[in-house]
Structure 1
Amino acid sequence: MPSLPRPTVGPGSRYTARAATTRHRPHQHTDIATLAHRLTTRDLWLARMLHEHRVLTTPQIARLAHTSLRSAQRRLRVLHQHAVLDSFRPLTATGSAPEHYTLGPLGAALLSAHASLDTAALGWRPTHTGRIAYSPSLGHDLGVNDLLTHLAAHTHTTPTTGLSLWLSERSAARRWGDLIRPDAYAHYRDGDLLLPFFLEYDTGSQPLARVEAKLTGYAAFITTTNTRPALLIHTRTQSRDQALRRRLADTARELDLNVATSSADFTTTGPWGPWWAPLQPAARRTTLTDLAAQWPGLSPASGLEPTDADTALTLPVPPLPPAAQPEAGT
């Protein structure tokens, strides 16, 4: 099957970790109570998503929550003007990057108020956006979010299919960091079929031996928790994918892990499609739905139930916003 072209900019390409000048705000509200009545439930959902996943681009937000890129840009501009969101635009090796959105000062204050916390307890600082913009992991984080926003938004065209759960790297580490540190954990549903999976988003920067060593942790997780999610490994290129498959196949079989791999050469716009190859000899690429059918012994990870230690901001955020409502005034 022919591969799709890998993007030259954005997720899957190489970012230059440097931020352009932040857009000017003509005004901003400092009174949370005044601002609150202007926000929709979708706006509050987006603030929670940005707290959970740190950074989303305009196309990613539009994919999840809007009917068009233009409507997304219009609403995001309003939220930026009121400091609910911050934004930056990184420089890229070629072309230009889309606007990148993070949680702004008023957004952090709103979430803190909803959770009865102070802003410091939320983990937000005035340098929040700058740290993300200059982070060497920016391209990696955007790649993870791009892959999973495509899976979540699949529900818009196929209502019985998509993500019912999506945890960020930080949330996964809070739950299972003593054993594993995946880049994400998610549930992909297609009708009655469920594919619970951990995601390793491999950019090619780690030695193959280090990737292989992670499999021991996933085997320990299965043994310790008596649950069995799959492991999906997504790589930058098909050649890296083939190198990983050669290195990991024997180890995955010995540890009795359900592992499938793919690369950005295939999954650019339809990561649910027939791009995933189980780690076994002569395996054909197949869909996420078929993986769920091939691996009937899968079960969701433990540690997903709410506990007394949870707050409104540590519970999972729905991958899609609540039903649309009219947008409040600007």
Structure 2
Amino acid sequence: MPSLPRPASGPGSRYTARAATTRSRPIRRHADVATLTRSLTSRDLWLTRMLHEHRVLTTHQVARLAYPSLRSAQRRLRTLHQHAVLDSFRPLTQNGSAPEHYTLGPAGAALLAAHAGLDVSVLGWRPTHNGRIAYSPSLGHDLGVNELLTHLAAHAHATPYAGLSLWFSERSAARRWSDIIRPDAYAHWRDGDRLLPFFLEYDTGSQPLPHVEAKLAGYAAFTTATSTRPALLIHTRTQSRDQALRHRLSAAARELDLNVATSSADFTTTNPWGPWWTPLQPAAHRTTLTHLAAQWPSLSPASGLEPTDADTALTLPVPPLPPAPDTAP
């Protein structure tokens, strides 16, 4: 099975810096928000919230989460693009071709703002939104995070009792905890009555090992300050990078009393919930996310998850999967 995206191979790894193609739209007058709302489904509205939350999703990632087939996803995404609900681009690659990448479009931003009773500027959306994401040096990293977590979320389609019940983007995590930590994501993996609340560090190999080690002190400070105890999952680029990280981090994780597990793209494929995660403990073996939850009974969800008066409709968590299907064009 194909590996998840990483710098050596897969989506996001072969992109030529600052080079992308954008899809043109038919020249026509776009419907106003009130008119457009009547033609959108609850799944369409969910997708606009997902793209506001997670910035960019490929056709395959959207299909995995919300559609019965890739073809049906492509058809609907094309329609939403034509109505400017979505923007899209296709990064140039050194060889082969990349899938279409979708971001929030001008009509989609206006829809979200209208539903929240806010001005579009509050969303942080600008006409340059699509281009800034297409040319971002962090595009491959962001897609890797979303690839890993869309696989975990979509697992619930096949196994309803197992999947992600919560998924915060890097931006949402920063809004809550940036004074102490800045994880790449925060999520809850649930399998029956087992719950694994975890922070994710998606390591591409670009940071020196001491820099990664220094992050552990922040997670230990978070545990002390909040009296909560999520796990820390570190997903690395290759098995050799994984081994180097484990050698560097094991002593610090033990001294700081952190529950840390690592894996790499050499092992995680299209089923990252499987037996690919190794706790940072002596003589530990690779195991599943569900078994990690069983091995670490002291885990607890992070603080700051409950809505506050400062939250708006745009800062509340977006369900990892769309609502039940409704009548869709």
TM-score with structure 2 setting the length: 0.97
1:72-123 deviation digits (Å, cap 9, x = unpaired): 0000000000000000000122211000000000000000000111111110
AA aligned opposite 2:17? A
Does 2:327 match 1:326?
yes
Does 2:84 match 1:95?
no
Residue 247 of structure 2 is matched in structure 1 by 246
Residue 25 of structure 1 is matched in structure 2 by 25
Q: Distance in 2 between matches of 1:100 and 1:316?
A: 22
Deviation at 1:9, TM superposition (A): 4.5
Seq. identity, %: 82
Q: Count residues with an aligned counterpart.
A: 326
1:239-275 deviation digits (Å, cap 9, x = unpaired): 0000000000000000000000001111121100000
Contact 1:10 1:97 in 2 (8 A): no
Contact 1:166 1:319 in 2 (8 A): yes
Contact 2:4 2:147 in 1 (8 A): no
Q: Distance in 1 between matches of 2:12 and 2:267?
A: 11
Deviation at 1:326, TM superposition (A): 1.5
Deviation at 1:307, TM superposition (A): 0.2
AA aligned opposite 2:123? L
Q: Distance in 2 between matches of 1:132 and 1:321?
A: 24
Residue 117 of structure 1 is matched in structure 2 by 118
Matches within 5 A, 1:52-201: 52-201=53-202
AA aligned opposite 1:310? D
Residue 275 of structure 1 is matched in structure 2 by 276
Please identify runs of 4+ aligned residues in structure 1 that moved more than 4 A.
3-9
AA aligned opposite 1:285? R
Q: Distance in 2 between matches of 1:10 and 1:120?
A: 34
AA aligned opposite 2:164? L
Q: Distance in 1 between matches of 2:323 and 2:293?
A: 27
Q: Distance in 1 between matches of 2:95 and 2:239?
A: 22
Structure 1 unmatched ranges of 5 or more: none
Q: Distance in 1 between matches of 2:94 and 2:189?
A: 34
Deviation at 1:30, TM superposition (A): 3.9
AA aligned opposite 2:294? A
Change (3 A) 1:52 1:249: same
1:257-298 deviation digits (Å, cap 9, x = unpaired): 000000111112110000000001121000000000000000
Residue 229 of structure 1 is matched in structure 2 by 230
Does 2:16 match 1:16?
yes
AA aligned opposite 2:210? A
SS at match of 1:215: helix
Residue 293 of structure 1 is matched in structure 2 by 294
SS at match of 2:247: helix
Q: Distance in 1 between matches of 2:261 and 2:277?
A: 6
Q: Distance in 2 between matches of 1:135 and 1:211?
A: 22
Change (3 A) 1:176 1:183: same
Q: Distance in 1 between matches of 2:317 and 2:42?
A: 16
Residue 46 of structure 2 is matched in structure 1 by 45
Change (3 A) 1:129 1:6: closer
Q: Distance in 2 between matches of 1:37 and 1:144?
A: 33
